[in-house]
Amino acid sequence: MRSVDVLIVGGGPAGSSAARLLTRAGADVLLLDRETFPRLKLCAGWITPEVVRELDMDLDAYPHRLVTFPRLRVHYGKLSIPVPCVQHSIRRFEFDAWLLERSGVQVEQHNVREILADGDGFIVDGAYRCRYLIGAGGTRCPVYRNLFKELNPRAHELQIVTLEHEIEYRWEDPDCHLWFCDEGLPGYSWYVPKENGWLNVGIGGFAERIKNAGQDIKTHWAHFAGKLDAGLTRGAHYDPSGYSYFLRGRVDVVRRDNAFITGDAAGLASRDLGEGIGPAIRSGMRAAQAILDGVPYRLDDVTGMSVSSIARSMLTRAARPLGPYGRRRAGDGGAAHGLRHDNQ
């Protein structure tokens, strides 16, 4: 049996952020993921300036696709409002693999199933023993399922159901578009351009409200696809996939003995826009700090709302305007973002 101090289950943003801090502090840590990276993750790939800061990311050195949006186009009914701000898009396929590699953690491919308490630690699938266990396995995290489900039952009214597709597409409109409550969808739909001919489109809404209204997410998708075909993405073919996750509700127990849950495993996506990458990163870091420094594992400073972050970036934008398509103006002192990196 392999024995380590810290075992992390899941190599998404939560797991890799915890891993980075632990590895840098010299901890004996192993990360298990059922997939090999790079792996597909259904996600629009919108990240905020807070995420960039938290990850200590040098945008100029990021080796993959990244677009900086100088505004969001928000649609509500017949209203279409440009919201000047600073937001970014990445491809999760690239971003997650980059984060995991950057963390320097040792990774093994393993689909975790059974977790048993063993003294002050845990035994995982009879093959791994650890003192500390970090659950970062997303919505279906086995650490949540084995140790936290009964203490922290998920609130069905906060379950989000999604359909999305990321395709190679030579988009012409470089703005990020968000349509709220279109055709009665209790949620929103999105069009998120990625650099270098990729595009992510999708819809997400409250599962229970869709069901109670006698609606179906697929009907909403058909409406959305028709709308895209009539305008922004004529002739594009979509074959969307679905995924479900939970917005932040009451999270009573996030640590049980030496086990922690982070990110989607704890249901931390923001209540207003379903932003989950930032909360996953911060909660992963807080779990690592609790292990390293013996401080309590608390989620008080893990954001529950995204609108405040967008508002802060509006102020940044006002202070340092971007050129069209997210390119910084020449003489701004930094390299351009948006339509810049060519590597596939």
Ligand X SMILES: Cc1cc2nc3c(=O)[nH]c(=O)nc-3n(C[C@H](O)[C@H](O)[C@H](O)COP(=O)(O)OP(=O)(O)OC[C@H]3O[C@@H](n4cnc5c(N)ncnc54)[C@H](O)[C@@H]3O)c2cc1C
- Where does this chain bind ligand X (CB under 6 A)? 9-15, 32-35, 39, 41-46, 111-112, 136-138, 140-142, 162, 164, 202, 204, 243, 245, 263-265, 269, 274-278, 280
Nearer to ligand X, 113 or 320 (CB): 113
Q: How far is the CB of 139 from ligand X (least distance, A)?
A: 7
Give me the least distance between CB of 140 and ligand X, in Å please. Answer: 5
- Measuring CA to CA, which residue among 96, 162, 136 is closest to residue 263? 136
Q: What is the closest distance, in whole angstroms, from the C-beta atom of residue 330 to ligand X in the complex?
A: 30
Which residue's beta carbon is nearest to the bound ligand X? Answer: 276
Cα(105)–Cα(95) distance, integer angstroms? 16
Q: Are 110 and 236 in contact (CB under 8 A)?
A: no
Of 104 and 323, nearer to ligand X (C-beta) is: 104
What is the dihedral angle through the alpha carbons of 26, 32, 33, 38, rounded to the nearest 10 degrees?
40
Write down the least CB distance from residue 44 to ligand X, Å.
Answer: 3
HSE of 122 in the Cβ direction (CA atoms, 13 Å)? 25
Comparison of 64 and 318: residue with beta carbon closer to ligand X: 64
For residue 39, the minimal CB distance to ligand X (Å) is 6
- Please measure the distance between the N-terminal and C-terminal CA atoms of the chain and give it in whole angstroms: 40
In eight-state DSSP terms, residue 27 is -
Task: Identify the burial level of 327 via C-beta atoms within 10 angstroms of its C-beta, where 0-12 means exposed, 13-18 middle and 19 or more buried.
Answer: middle
Nearer to ligand X, 110 or 256 (CB): 110
- Nearer to ligand X by Cβ, of 219 and 320: the residue is 219
